[in-house]
Amino acid sequence: MVLTSLGPPEPHRMAQQDTWTKKDLTGIEELSRSEIELLFRQADQFLPALAPGKGLDLMKGRTVVNLFLEPSTRTRTAFEISAKKLGAEVVSINTTASSLVKGETLRDTAENIRAMGVDAIVMRHSSAGSARYLGSVLDISVVNAGDGAHEHPTQALLDAFTLRQRFGQVEGLKVTILGDILFSRVARSNILCLSKLGAQVTLAGPATLVPAALKEAFPQVRIVHDLKEALKDCDAVMLLRIQHERQTTTHFPSLGEYTAQFGLNAERAAWLKPEAVVMHPGPINRGVEVESEVADGPRSVILEQVRNGVAVRMAVLHLCTGAISR
């Protein structure tokens, strides 16, 4: 699939990749830097289509199924809008309607959906590795919308895309990811994506949620448990949602204790460099990991992230489904 150019042709630079060959997006781990950059250039092309009343027909006649086996509003809606902006038909299946609760296997569910003539499945699933598994058993596109605590690649792509938009490039930026790293697929995808793009990543939070062993898993990161140290020289801080539903009770004493130690309020945000931005993948627990005055303040790029999420997901759907020759 060659990059689809909608405006005037972009100046072609040497060594730029412009052909996408992957039918699936299962994780950032499988992507090269040049593939990520290609995807961003494709997303750039789609930004004008985000305006109300605008839409494209690049996926006209194609069908995308959103198979969401875990609750999600934002990601599912963003994928739905992305597919519709490209002219595709969208069917959403959520947990309660799913036959998986009746004991059907994931392979059977997916093969049934495939048999109905679908072009792509966007899946969110509580099991780590499930997207890779599905991609290996199906010959249609599989896009990972979050697999357990493993990866959430489109979130990381939209985060890096937002940083690129704000700072011109991601290379050389210092990014602190703060909060529940242990259980976070957003953190894993962001560590990989930001590192591949040449940013320096710092992980911060309580030692139970940011264990020292993360350094073995991701040797390129820095780990700190002191909030001031984590914030003082970064260009961006990514806050992670404290996921009450995922943690066992032993990882920190209480939400109040978390907020007292690691919550981002105006006083602590003042430790940041003047140009540093605050990011959050949503949904926000206001008053837990972030105070409203910071979430809604001038440093916040949270709504830019949401907006860019549509363009990035359009690029993912367009490139992945386009990689299948028919």
Partner 1 sequence: MNPADNSPLWIRGARVIDPSARRDEAKGDVFALDGRFVDRLSAADQAKARVIDGTGLVVAPGFVDLNCRLGEPGRTARETIRTGTRAAAAGGFTTVVTMPDSLPAADNVGTIQLLREICSRDAAVRVLPTGTLTKGHEGKALAPLGTMKKAGVVAVTDTTSGVQNNEIMRRALEYAAMFGLVVLDHCQDSSMTDGGQMHEGAWSLRLGLRGLPRAAEEIVVSSDCLLAELTQARIHLQHLSSGGSAEIVRRAKAKQLPVTAEVSALHLLLTDAALANYATSLKTNPPLREEADRLALLAALADGTIDAVCSDHSPCTATEKDCEFDLAPFGAATLETAFAAAHTALVVGGHADLSVLIARLTSGPARALGLAAGTLSDGAHADLVVLDPKAAWTPAKTDLVSKSGNNPLVGHALAGRVRTTFVGGRKVFGA
How many Cβ atoms sit within 10 Å of the Cβ of residue 111? 12
Among 13, 52, 116, 216, binds partner 1 (CB under 8 A): 216
Q: Which is nearer to partner 1, 167 or 218 (CB)?
A: 218
Among 2, 217, 260, 266, binds partner 1 (CB under 8 A): 217
CB of 39 to partner 1, least distance (A): 22
The CA distance from 42 to 56, in Å, is 13
Q: Please, which of residues 131-190 interact with partner 1 by CB under 8 A?
A: 132-133, 147-151, 182, 185, 188
The owner of tokens 């689809």 is 4
Q: Which is nearer to partner 1, 58 or 123 (CB)?
A: 123
The dihedral over CA atoms of 230, 231, 236, 242, expressed in degrees to the nearest 10, equals 70
Q: Which is nearer to partner 1, 3 or 214 (CB)?
A: 214
* Span of 45-53, 160-168, 215-223, 227-235 interacting with partner 1 by CB under 8 A: 215-223
Structure tokens at 53: 């009343």
Q: Please, which of residues 72-131 interact with partner 1 by CB under 8 A?
A: 105-107, 125-130
Q: Which is nearer to partner 1, 44 or 147 (CB)?
A: 147
Question: Coil, strand or helix: which one is 303?
Answer: helix
In this structure, are residues 294 and 272 in contact, taking their beta carbons and an 8 Å threshold? no
Q: Which is nearer to partner 1, 108 or 171 (CB)?
A: 108
**CB proximity list for 38: less than 8 A, separation 6 or greater:** 3, 16, 17, 18, 19, 20, 319
Q: Which is nearer to partner 1, 223 or 301 (CB)?
A: 223
The answer to whether 241 contacts partner 1 (rule: CB under 8 A) is no
The owner of tokens 């009343």 is 53
Q: How many residues bind partner 1 (CB under 8 A)?
A: 26
CB of 130 to partner 1, least distance (A): 5
Among 203, 214, 278, 315, binds partner 1 (CB under 8 A): 214
Q: Which is nearer to partner 1, 147 or 159 (CB)?
A: 147
Q: Which of 2, 4, 11, 28 is nearest to 195 (CA)?
A: 28
Question: Coil, strand or helix: which one is 205?
Answer: coil
Angle of helix 153-167 relative to helix 185-196, nearest 10 degrees? 50
The CA distance from 106 to 278, in Å, is 37
CB of 147 to partner 1, least distance (A): 7
Q: By the criterion CB under 8 A, which residues form the site for partner 1?
A: 105-107, 125-130, 132-133, 147-151, 182, 185, 188, 211, 213-214, 216-218, 248
